[in-house]
Amino acid sequence: MATVLRHGRLRVMVHSRDHPPAHAHVVSASGQAKILIGGEFMATPDWISAELAKDFAKANRAGRSDSRSEPRAAAARFVSIRNELQIRMTNGASLTLPVSIISELAGATRAQLARLEVLPGGDGLHWDGLDVTISVPGLVASLFSPSVWMSELGRRGGTRSTAAKVAAARRNGLRGGRPRAT
């Protein structure tokens, strides 16, 4: 879902490949509302309809762009025996992760976890009985966040010893240790 407007604690969001009629979601911490754009269901001034239609088109373009660059789910299922969530991505990759690492699902029963659906466009996973929606790009980013990923690469890289590293350490030791950062 692409965010097209933020106002205080409210966000106006539009799905990139959602179902007709055209509509937007207004989301806050306490819930969300669906607003139909145009048509007989909503009496609005023409300028509001035009602005919403323009924003809807902009959100669709952004959503199509995001769908090519962000991780998206093609399918997902809960494996009860192993208490795992399996997600097949649109690029062919698969993720299997323990449900215990997703704090929003803490305390859910196996039956509730099994009633899982992939949102249109694959950008979210939703459990209707739990009233929980998890962003797929956000979930992937949290698993492979740059800070965690880079620190692990640095840790592993720092354990490698080469002849050049050994020689540099000796030279630095003769000069009183590693040079201070300036």
- Segment 130-171, tens digit of pLDDT: 889 998 888 888 887 666 556 656 666 666 667 777 788 788
- Segment 25-58, tens digit of pLDDT: 787 777 777 777 765 554 556 767 777 778 888 8
DSSP element (H, E) containing 154:
helix 146-158
If one counts every other C-beta atom within 10 angstroms of the C-beta of residue 15, the result is 19
- List, in order of start, the domains of the chain with CATH numbers: 2-69 (no CATH), 73-143 (3.30.2020.40)
The model's pTM is 0.49
